[in-house]
Amino acid sequence: MNSLTKHIHLSGICGTAMASLAGLLQLQGHRITGSDKAAYPPMSDLLRSLGIPILEPYSESNLDPAPDLVVIGNALSRGNPEVERVLDERIPFTSMAALVREEFLKGRESLVVAGTHGKTTTTSMLAWIYQVASHDHAALEPSFLIGGVAENFGTSFQLRPTRTFIIEGDEYDTAFFDKGPKFLHYFPDALILTHVEFDHADIYADLEAVKIAFKRLVNLVPRRGLLVAFDGSENVTECISHAFCRIERYGFKAESDWQIRNLRHIDGETKWEIWRNGELWSELNMRLAGEHNVLNATAAAALAVGQGVSRDAIRTALASFKSVKRRLEVRDVIRGITIIDDFAHHPTAIRETLRALRSVYPDSRLWAVLEPRSNTLRRKVLENDLIESLRIADRVILAGVYQQQRIPDAERLHPEDVVDALNVAGTPAELHPGTAEIVESLAQELKTGDVVAILSNGGFDGIYEKLPARLRASRS
């Protein structure tokens, strides 16, 4: 592509990365249109605020008149009407990751945040650290692309003429015509690796396949680069074992380059110390709860220091860091009942979310309301881990598996088995097939002081709006 204004159509525009790319391309002056099967917040809200139309559902007519370029999201495959028209008429097309590399990363310093968990929050923290640091050094103001809406910015993307580009590195495949991970397009100058676990069971056969993908990413970091890696995972240690660049580890171990000590949650703030080489480097604080968020913040701090950002800027940024939409987001408080929205996609993420809520609301009855929607949770491969994670809650409600007909019965998670196991283990659990039944059950049982964690990586049939509306109606 050249710098001339083009009509670019994004098929699958409501994906977090695709919506962010749409915004970046619009900033370049291109005319953007997009389509999706169904639009839901927060990315649909972001796109509408930008004046970018969302055409629903997918249709060949969405490409009238034929655009100059079509970006095909990784959720689309052969048989999709827009894919078929693109191929039939040879309309120029590409993937999200390839276009990001071509248009935004060339000639810039690419700072990539990767890992099975924590990518979005860590990327948002790193971007905010650079933004705060730019108040004293304008050259540090970052461009970024995040897989979620960072609340400090009110957006998931930013484009600046400076050199730094911070990007979330997704291990999911790129497109139907490029089955490699997206992050292999980003060629990191510096890299954060948070966790490596089995995930995305629809595209990775097993943990070994996941580790191969991350090893290939590590192999792209140049000798002059920096790799900041979590030290509490044998899988991470294996994946970085043949890196050619400098490695710095972070975590709770005494031998960590960035050791976390004295973690506590006091009066709505999380406080901890970072020690380097046996000496106190800094005491930090932030509003976010949870050990996982302390790890995320420490990783962001370590990489920023490695790139020359000051300690004062890091402290200020983390203290003022808000959150990311759909990460432990308080959606409403009604009659003393707190409703939390979290983008749960994996048993480990569910565990850390519930542990964090326990630390913030230690005296509350904690509900976990789960929609098995991600391609991993819809399968039973991690069923035992899911049961253990959900046991942290006091009460559990499961919805039916999202689009269960697409998963063979032998591979599919059977929520009734999870509910039975939880009840046997002493955690009261219920299964309801749809959102209406879940909302009605909750409305009958919730009490003042309860905390409800709604866990889904999708729209969950509007439960985030339906439950508050039902609770308000029962009060009147």
Cα gap 128→116, rounded to integer Å: 21
Q: How does the average pLDDT of the chain come out, rounded? A: 93
CATH 3.90.190.20 region(s) of the chain? 329-475
First to last CA, the chain: 58
Per-residue pLDDT band at 475 (split at 50, 70, 90): low
* 69-101 pLDDT tens trace: 999 999 999 999 999 999 999 999 999 999 999
Cα gap 460→454, rounded to integer Å: 9
Structural fold of domain 329-475: Protein-Tyrosine Phosphatase; Chain A (3.90.190)
* 178-212 pLDDT tens trace: 999 999 999 999 999 999 988 887 888 899 999 99
What pLDDT score was predicted for residue 329? Answer: 86
Cα gap 475→267, rounded to integer Å: 30
Cα gap 365→362, rounded to integer Å: 8
What pLDDT score was predicted for residue 33? Answer: 97
CATH 3.40.1190.10 region(s) of the chain? 99-320
Per-residue pLDDT band at 1 (split at 50, 70, 90): very low
DSSP state of 183: G
Is the pLDDT confidence value at 282 over 70?
yes
Mean pLDDT, residues 432-457 taken together: 93
Per-residue pLDDT band at 3 (split at 50, 70, 90): low
Per-residue pLDDT band at 374 (split at 50, 70, 90): confident
Is the pLDDT confidence value at 444 over 70?
yes
- Report the 3 state secondary structure along 55-116: ECCCCHHHHCCCCCEEEECCCCCCCCHHHHHHHHHCCCEECHHHHHHHHHHCCCEEEEEECC
What pLDDT score was predicted for residue 403? Answer: 83
| Residue 162 near residue 155, CB atoms below 8 Å | no
| Residue 296 near residue 230, CB atoms below 8 Å | no
Tokens of 163: 């050199």
What pLDDT score was predicted for residue 248? Answer: 98
Mean pLDDT, residues 258-281 taken together: 93
For 99-320, give the CATH class: alpha beta
What pLDDT score was predicted for residue 451? Answer: 95
Mean pLDDT, residues 283-290 taken together: 92
Is the pLDDT confidence value at 2 over 80?
no
Tokens of 389: 């994670």
Higher pLDDT, 219 or 342: 219
CATH 3.40.50.720 region(s) of the chain? 7-94
The arrangement of secondary structure in 7-94, i.e. its CATH architecture, is: 3-Layer(aba) Sandwich (3.40)
